[in-house]
Structure 1
Amino acid sequence: MNIASVRRPIVPPTPPRAPDDMSFLGKLAVIRRNMIATWGQRAYEEEIIPGRFIFRNSFILNRPDAIRHILLSNYENYTRTPAGIRMLRPVLGDGLLIAEGHSWTFQRRTLAPAFTPRATANLVPHMTAVLDETIAKLDARTGEAVDLRETMQRMTLEIAGRTMFSFGMDRHGPTLRNFIMEYAERLGRAYFLDMVLPVSWPSPMDFARARFRTRWTEFVAMLIAERRAAGKKDGAPPRDLFDLMDEARDPETGKGFSDAQLVDEVATMILAGHETTATALFWALYLLALDPDTQEEVASETRGEHLDSIADIDRQKFTRAVIDETMRLYPPAFLVARAARDKDNAAGIEIGKGDIIMIAPWLLHRHEKLWDQPNAFIPKRFMSKEPPDRFAYLPFGAGPRVCIGAPFAQAESVLALARLIGAFRIDLADSNPVIPLGVVTTQPDHSPMFRITRR
């Protein structure tokens, strides 16, 4: 895709690329700190990188036709790896994100009505109320150094709480944040035995994860009980995601979620929703602080807009392109790993039973054969008449298992960025480069300070 640009685009900082001949032990030492830093130049140039991963054949795929086969044409042949299940199950249980087979089909069918564009539109007032409060708080801090990463985390958590339960997270937010930080800092990282042992054999860290899961599910069940105690008027339309999920029924069987299943679904939606959106918004603000001209284009587009409905959000074409480009450069899920249930042929690639397939949006989105100026921040590439190949751009996955909450996340991200940049000019108060880390999600290595000025 060729991009014409009058001015030179910015190229944000990234980790140094690994030597292509890095040893297995060398990769193992780096992988827990930053998975992104284990890939060398070859991974950004070649379509297929065969190798070995924990005694199994592995393939890194950068070919859209092969990725299409894995994620769409024959997706049922590929399951999460043991390490992936260990990392996710303690916080998500058997929720939609990691369910397989009939369980996944039931959950997907049952949840689908809760995430239609119409359902998302009904939740926009919750988003705008939180944004009004966030802007008011930031207004009182103009001219000061502000941690916008923390602000985005608190804001998206509040949006998650109100859209899910119709109540604020003042009382429960700190506890929820502590759970997330506790898990991400230690339990959510892959250790050697996590990668080599079958899921049925507990690794040493699995015992700590099990204790965490007990406390975590009790907390989520308490939130659900509090929401149920608030009740709902008979005959009233659903007022939040919990109403939609609690009332959801499989259109084929008429079956709804049990209380235990509802805990896992609520946990999945809160965690997958707020943390990834907060991180995407942080990176968008960081990029716009590095690129004042693009920031002014966003501000110009939002000027005079009310931004309180889906129709208003849909008109923000350039702001949407900024979000799309941000998630190209900093995909929330930097790696998708799958294990083959049986042998297969993916667009000419012979795959054996048990082989590990790695589809890394971080690599795919920066691949030199798929993108013009792949490391540069050029939002207008997403306003081109030639959109990127559907299987070369995977911020929300693809195929039947594409993220069910993608329309909600996109609406929230565009609305938040438009409102924030429409209200404030954002500048960096910290000159240290921010380096992305691949740990659970694509995170910054530190939280830089920003200065905000009222427009």
Structure 2
Amino acid sequence: MTPPKPPKPKTRPDRVSLWRYMQLFRADILSAQPARLYRAWMAEFRTPFFRSYLLNQPDLVRLVLKERPQDFPKSDRISEGLRPLLGESVFLTNGAQWERQRRIIDPAFEGGRLRDTYPAMWAAAEAARTRLARQAGQVVEIEEITSHAAADVIFRTLFSLPIEDEVAQAVFQEFRAYQRTQPILNLAAFVPLPRWMPRFFRRDTRAAAARIRGLITGLTTARQAEIAAGTAPDDLATKIMTTRDPLTNETFSTQEMVDQVAIFFLAGHETSASALSWALYLLALFPDWQDKVADEAQALGTGDFAEAGRLKISRDVFRETLRLYPPVPMMVRENRCPEQFRDRNIAKGAQMVLSPWHLHRHERLWDRPDDFDPARWGTENGRTCARDAFIPFSAGARVCTGAGFAMVEGPLLLSLLLRDLRVDLVENRTPEPVAHLTVRSRNGIFLRVTRR
């Protein structure tokens, strides 16, 4: 019997008008693209204002992200829509400002700190399993479960607060509202607006961002007082807020810390929730792999960090999920110098689009690119593509600071949720992947939960 195919967005015709393309892009960047991008090494998109180039050729991706990242800074066009929430966070900045931020942030996520944060991660995973177990026998919208779980992990590891805390719960609910109101692109993505011109954000988007930042400011101010009094817990927030830039000896101001907490929550909560929900759906679609994950998870029980290293099957499932449904489907850089890629002359200021969504499913790179096969990571093709065509956390100098954190959190949550519980498909409820802030299902992911 032919194995099922994981759902994939429809594609548009090769040629559409700019106006139609803008409409499609704002609605969903995945279905707005033509099918040829799954085979192209490079593609050019023209607008009256600028040129964009999608890069799938591995050596070009490597050049932009790893070899010459200083020549390809993050594009302001794409970041404009996120500024009401993220301000000048490390996700949006470039140059010396970004370098200073990374010097302060990176020590909190070094390898040894994963062991320190693991107990909080374990507690959040057990709490998620308990909540899901209460719904055994029911059909649940699994994105709600994973969003709750991922938010709990972030609050416990960052501020030593469980999700049940009143402020933590308020931030979580506001982020849920913000995620659905924020289009992935603002008007500035298409039209080069001067700095003095106001940006056209939806009123509810701007209001939600202000409420979230207000709540985070309260948490940050309270933590600063605890640090001054010597009573602060040894968590990620304390580590970041007390780390001094080795070059200037400065720490983050309150405003700077609010910017960073906003991106930690967005990146750590949104992306983890997206990947985990798709992983659970894929395991419902492929129950033989679900059983393998559940069998492996029977060894979990002590909450000791050493157990995390034994979750090989769960880790391969999670990696395969990140391949098929990368939470951040596209990244955009801007070239500072004229370039020549594949015999094309590229003017300064063009947009270089790196698309994990297309690169991870590229028909000329991957064996059976649209198939779900966690065993591929042990094959020669899988190992080659893992090096050359797998960038769920970006790559090079701007690789996600929390990549190691995510690769412990994801397999752990997946394993603990399925150790004693089972998820099954619901008839006529096939999810449709779309890009909001991350890759989510257009109408949710519904699964039936039962006890094993």
TM-score, normalising length: structure 1: 0.92
2:228 paired with 1:252: no
Maintained 8 Å contact 1:82/1:199? no
2:217 to 207, 215, 221: 221
1:446 corresponds in structure 2 to: 443
2:36 paired with 1:42: yes
Distance 1:392 1:124 in 2: 30
Distance 1:231 1:366 in 2: 47
2:149 paired with 1:155: yes
Match of 2:91, SS state, is coil
2:130 paired with 1:136: yes
Distance 1:99 1:263 in 2: 15
Deviates more, 1:131-140 or 1:150-159: 131-140
Maintained 8 Å contact 1:298/1:418? yes
2:174 corresponds in structure 1 to: 179
Give 1:431's aligned amino acid: N
Q: Deviations over 1:29-60 (max 9, x none)?
A: 21111110111121111111122145222211
Distance 2:233 2:245 in 1: 17
2:15 paired with 1:18: no
1:334 corresponds in structure 2 to: 329
1:383 corresponds in structure 2 to: 378
Deviates more, 1:13-22 or 1:173-182: 173-182
1:398 to 390, 395, 400: 395
Q: Deviations over 1:102-152 (max 9, x none)?
A: 111111111111001211111111111122222222222211222221011
Shift of 1:427: 0.8
2:75 paired with 1:78: no
Against the structure 1 CA distance between its residues 28 and 44, is the aligned structure 2 distance closer, same or farther, given a 3 Å change threshold? same
2:398 paired with 1:407: no
Cα RMSD (Å): 2.3
1:422 corresponds in structure 2 to: 419
Deviates more, 1:208-217 or 1:291-300: 208-217
Match of 1:11, SS state, is coil
Match of 1:172, SS state, is helix
Maintained 8 Å contact 2:330/2:354? yes
2:119 paired with 1:119: no
Maintained 8 Å contact 1:337/1:358? yes
Q: Deviations over 1:389-443 (max 9, x none)?
A: 5341110000100000111111110110011111211112343210100222111
2:25 paired with 1:31: yes
Q: Deviations over 1:78-124 (max 9, x none)?
A: 23333312122221111111111111111111111100121111111
Deviates more, 1:206-215 or 1:48-57: 206-215
Distance 1:207 1:453 in 2: 41
2:195 paired with 1:200: yes
Shift of 1:213: 4.6
Maintained 8 Å contact 2:316/2:377? yes
Against the structure 1 CA distance between its residues 191 and 230, is the aligned structure 2 distance closer, same or farther, given a 3 Å change threshold? closer
Against the structure 1 CA distance between its residues 290 and 187, is the aligned structure 2 distance closer, same or farther, given a 3 Å change threshold? closer
Against the structure 1 CA distance between its residues 232 and 309, is the aligned structure 2 distance closer, same or farther, given a 3 Å change threshold? farther
Deviates more, 1:114-123 or 1:131-140: 131-140
Distance 2:308 2:48 in 1: 46
Give 2:255's aligned amino acid: A
Match of 1:88, SS state, is helix
Maintained 8 Å contact 2:167/2:215? no
Against the structure 1 CA distance between its residues 177 and 305, is the aligned structure 2 distance closer, same or farther, given a 3 Å change threshold? closer
Count of aligned pairs: 448
2:358 corresponds in structure 1 to: 363
Give 2:273's aligned amino acid: A
Give 1:179's aligned amino acid: E
2:238 paired with 1:273: no
Shift of 1:229: 4.9
Maintained 8 Å contact 1:283/1:326? yes
Give 2:138's aligned amino acid: E
Maintained 8 Å contact 1:62/1:364? yes
Maintained 8 Å contact 1:32/1:439? no
Match of 1:453, SS state, is strand
Shift of 1:22: 2.5
Maintained 8 Å contact 1:53/1:356? no
Give 1:330's aligned amino acid: Y
Distance 1:360 1:167 in 2: 35
Maintained 8 Å contact 1:67/1:359? yes
2:58 to 39, 60, 64: 64
TM-score, normalising length: structure 2: 0.93
Match of 2:334, SS state, is strand
